[in-house]
Structure 1
Amino acid sequence: MLKKILFVILCFCGLIATAQQKDSLSIKNGIDNPSILSTHHFGIFSSRLNTNFKYAPPQKTTFAFNYTSGNNFQPFVESYFPKDPAVREQLSQIKWYDRPFNFIDQETTPADYLNIVIDAVIKEFRATVNIPINKHHELGITLRSYLITKGKYPFSIFTSDEGIEWFHSNVAGGEDPFGRRYYGLNQVNFRYQDRNGNTLELNNNDFFIGGLEFNHYYYPKLSINETQNIYLNFGTHLGLNTSKFNASIDVGISANAIKKLALKNNYELNLAIGANLLRKNIINFKEVIDLGNNPYLGTLEGEIEITKYTKKGNFNAFGINYHVQSRYNKKAEAGYYKLLGKWREINGGWQNGVYTLYKPLSSWNFIYTYGTPKYLLSLFIKEDLEVNNAPDFQTGVSLKIPISK
């Protein structure tokens, strides 16, 4: 099934590229990034927001296809959340790893319970159409889908278990620092039971449509555009999540600023900063899995991009992007939860499946873009800073072409 879907998409892209040979993209429109959103095992079920660092709407309607691969690994861990305020207060005085376990008897010590284990290479396929409405407004429509895999060669060269553990053993990290070898390489073990008793489970080669997203951007005309080469844009966002685990609607807002600096010898420097806020599950169409009890996901992102224009009118651009997202669960619970896992058998990170839900998630992204009047080709790699393995390492490629005359 997947091969047929990919074949149709590739043929569609080829037909568009052939049929629109006379069309062209604006050679450079700020920092025109691919989707660099992580393959986080909760995030893939919600319509998270990509930051927009463009100066203005595209001159023509464009089509972009984005492929991403991320290695997610978090060993099985259980968590108990006591309901009694007195017990919570008592546990809050003790370090989380030293807290006693006494929640088996629900009559004497009532507590909510959840468990989670994540082991898969998650593939994301994202198709986006950006439509200029006028000189100041743009509409973007995105369809996103996901494939759960074992991550074997040759389809996951950089994000496979073997590649990552080879790096740990031979370059940095040490031998099996997080327990991948202990549990076995090239496995799919994707299961989560929320505190309401609902279960989310995915298996090898499971494919699903994550949702449809609508993004509107407004680019105001300001004097600083001409005098300071500073550009602003503001976004409103609507996401329709279509998976059986989270059939819902999300809404969001965003604001972004870009500073352009023209340098000598056909070089250009762009500096950008952006922020967005997503209200998850503002409408649920049925009972959904609890994918984090923090209803808001906020993101702060900054980037530096250096561009070199060629004599033929093309360009090469390299960007360094810092991205941080707010936590999935309410911070207060981290003060009293109790975690259970194989901490003796695993060198480190046995607690990550729950522990990192209470921490902001941050990453560095390194992005290369080659641009011509006919297309933009982008490659990126993502490395998390919190070592939360959600994902540990991620790569992506994107192709953007014009589809209107």
Structure 2
Amino acid sequence: MQPNFPLPDADALAHSAQLAAGLRDEITRQGGAIPFSRFMELCLYTPGWGYYSAGASKFGASGDFTTAPEMGSLFASTVANALAPVFQQLQGPARLLELGGGSGAFAEAVLLRLAELQALPARYAILEPSADLRERQQQRLRQNLPEALASRVEWLDRPFDDDWEGVVFANEVIDALPTPRFLIKDGEVYEETVELDAQGGFVRGAQPADMLLHQAVRHLERYLKRPFADGYRSELLPQLPYWLQAVAGGLQRGALLFVDYGYNRAEFYQPERDDGTLRAFYRHHVHNEVHLWPGLQDITASVDFTAMAEAGLHAGFDLAGYCSQASFLLGNGLDQCLALADERTDDVGRVQLRDQLKKLTLPSGMGERFQVIGLQREVDFEPAFELGDLSWRL
């Protein structure tokens, strides 16, 4: 069924058709089915064709969704307030590694604020898989930052592989990791696949889960103290601990900070949420037709923050805290950042700042839907979570 909003233009549809043809070829080569996680990976990250690899606008009014850093500087400036004490605790040259830099708006605002707080990292690295986004980030930061700050920024193809100190930050990254989907059928664990119907369209299928996914689902059931009902379907990232270890690399001292939409485990896997959290974003519309228009729409799933905490502990980090985005921002000087921004703008800018504030903190905006989790190693990051800490819910 086609969603009820305008069709992409002819060029965009032709682009999507090219990627769809490649997907059909892979499904055929793999015997008629591929795991959903592979379908999602190809839709988002196929070089030159995937959603995050092609050149269309993703963020803001002209894109498909708006992230907190794209609204203005309040979000990043407040995050800088939270990170500054971590950098001040580190003795050697520190680094800040941002995963997925978006338009570069976060890097711009956080560096300016860290400079004001005299807590700049020696290096600011952006791990960005999209060549197009990397180019846009470079152009923005060259134009908008003083040379002394812009010169600290570098772009990486992979995480740091040496020993280092600093911070890893990611906003709306975990939700875009290609996720397996599981299905319970006759009490057994199956993995959702993507197959072709008679007309060559993409449809759901299922195959017996491999041992990693099977054990991960049974771990969830033990944690929840109940089995999943037959027909229950949802997402699960059994590779999350390995991913987190990879992005942290040789981080010896420092913190990890992740912001995303999601739930604690008990809320994520509620019995009534029996088709998971998977959805697609297209031109600020959210819908469930994730097989539609490969390469033209974002595909995401909510984050299990209990799994994030488990992955961090498995990697040798301690939990610093977990709270809503509203609590995190209000507890780390959002009012101070608002006052500073007020002094630097006009009446129109002040109206826009209030609009940012509402969207970032109100339950009807991002305030409660988005969650924040922090992990620490050999530093004290816990004060950043003193307001509204919900670690007990994990």
Higher relative contact order by CA 8 Å / sep ≥ 6: 1 or 2?
A: 1
Bigger Rg, which one:
1
More helix by share: 2
